[in-house]
């Protein structure tokens, strides 16, 4: 293990869309990063050094909360509040936001409601500035923006309406077993607009017509990932139980690395102090 050696606090992989080719991946450790596409078919090793530093305050913590935070930050920061996972539960309008200034900056920016296909059809939301990053993080092979809204809460309320017809979850095991069957996302979008026209109009009446912009003419974005071989059985590595993980790199999809010895969600270990090496 001598070709590359990096060490530092692990961040989620940097993934960039690469038009007409597989997505481009970088491993990020502290201030350093390393392109991973070139390491396919090579043996790599990740070793957990037994230390986690909160990604916000850098405090040493024995347990990571919400992918990289210490417990005090987890309880205090607005970005760790439960409404970030369930935006329809946003309570800013009730005057109880943990950090109102942060909420105004982040939650009142334009958000996109989208359809995606990672392991099957799903509906999701993201800040407008996070396209296509959000889709790549989920391992989506297809994604389609269907509405632009004025706040995070409103995106959650619209998503909640559409959940009556489809899931908002990705089956990560299915996503790692192979490519999802292609879907006609435009047809699915049109079905949502037709089936929930009354509910959409009610939201417009409550929040203002300009707060919701449906996107009936957007076309589907398609992505491919650098995967040489999908696992027939998905076995997940756990750095807490096995601090040293070694294997031949067979693929990269979403925030997962696929090794011949198992798969691992690197985002799960955000802020863990990790050393990395690869062999020729």
Same domain, 93 and 193: yes
> Quick count: other Cβ atoms within 10 Å of Cβ 39?
22
The residue from 192, 222, 252 where one domain ends is 222
Q: Looking at residue 194, what DSSP letter applies?
A: H
pLDDT at 244 over 60: yes
Q: Decide: residue 233, CB within 10 A, 0-12 exposed, 13-18 middle, 19+ buried.
A: exposed
Of the pLDDT bands very low, low, confident and very high (cuts 50, 70, 90), residue 279 is confident
Domain stop point among 222, 239, 257: 222
| Same domain? 124 vs 257 | no
Same domain, 91 and 207: yes
In this prediction, residues 161-185 reach a mean pLDDT of: 95
pLDDT tens-place string over residues 78-137:
999 999 999 999 999 999 999 999 999 999 999 999 999 999 999 999 999 999 999 999
Among residues 206, 222, 238, the one where a domain terminates is: 222
For 185-222, what is each residue's pLDDT tens digit? 999 999 999 999 999 999 999 999 999 999 999 999 99
Give percent of the chain with pLDDT exceeding 90. Answer: 96
- β-strand partners of 49: none
Number of domains in the chain: 2
Average pLDDT over residues 29-46: 96
Over range 231-250, report the average pLDDT: 96
Res 2: pLDDT: 57
What is the per-residue pLDDT for 71? Answer: 97
Are residue 107 and residue 211 in the same domain, yes or no?
yes
Domain shared by 43 and 8, yes or no = yes
Question: Based on the domain organization, do 89 and 212 belong to the same domain?
Answer: yes
- Whether the pLDDT of residue 3 is over 80: the answer is no
Give the mean pLDDT of the chain.
96
Asked if residue 1 has pLDDT above 80, the reply is: no
Measure the CA–CA gap between 280 and 274, rounded to whole angstroms.
Answer: 20
Are residue 88 and residue 188 in the same domain, yes or no?
A: yes
Q: Is the model's pTM score more than 0.85?
A: yes
| Rounded Cα–Cα distance for residues 126 and 158 (Å) | 12
Confidence of residue 58 (pLDDT cuts 50, 70, 90): very high
Q: What is the dihedral of CA 105, 218, 197, 151, to 10 degrees?
A: 0
Is the predicted pLDDT of residue 160 greater than 90, yes or no?
yes
For residue 179, what are the domain limits? 73-222
Per-residue confidence at 259, pLDDT binned at 50, 70, 90? very high
> Are 55 and 96 in a shared domain?
no
Q: Are 23 and 8 within one domain? A: yes
Same domain flag for 199 and 107: yes
Q: Are residues 207 and 90 in the same domain?
A: yes
Together in a domain, 138 and 156: yes
């Amino acid at each position: 293990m001598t070709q590359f050696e990096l060490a530092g606090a692990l961040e989620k992989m940097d993934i960039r869309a690469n038009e007409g080719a597989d997505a481009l991946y970088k491993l990020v450790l502290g201030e350093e990063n390393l392109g991973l596409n070139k390491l396919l078919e090579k043996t790599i090793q990740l070793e957990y050094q037994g230390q986690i530093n909160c990604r916000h305050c850098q405090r040493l913590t024995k347990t990571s909360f919400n992918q990289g935070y210490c417990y005090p930050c987890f309880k205090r920061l607005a970005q760790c509040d439960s409404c970030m996972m369930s935006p329809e539960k946003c309570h800013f309008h009730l005057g109880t936001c943990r950090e109102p200034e942060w909420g105004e900056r982040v939650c009142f920016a334009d958000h996109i409601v989208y359809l995606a296909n990672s392991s099957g059809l799903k509906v999701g939301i993201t800040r407008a500035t996070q396209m296509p990053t959000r889709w790549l993080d989920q391992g989506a092979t297809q994604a389609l923006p269907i509405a632009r809204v004025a706040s995070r809460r409103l995106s959650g309320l619209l998503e909640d309406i559409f959940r009556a017809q489809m899931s908002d979850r990705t089956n990560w095991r299915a996503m790692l077993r192979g490519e999802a069957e292609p879907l006609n996302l435009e047809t699915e979008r049109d079905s949502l607009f037709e089936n929930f026209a009354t509910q959409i109009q009610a939201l417009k009446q409550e929040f203002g017509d300009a707060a919701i912009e449906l996107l009936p003419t957007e076309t589907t974005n398609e992505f491919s990932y650098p995967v040489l071989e999908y696992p027939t059985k998905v076995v997940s590595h756990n750095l807490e139980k096995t601090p040293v993980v070694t294997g031949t790199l067979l693929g990269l999809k979403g925030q997962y690395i696929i090794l011949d010895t198992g798969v691992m969600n690197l985002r799960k270990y955000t802020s863990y102090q990790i050393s990395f090496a690869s062999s020729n």
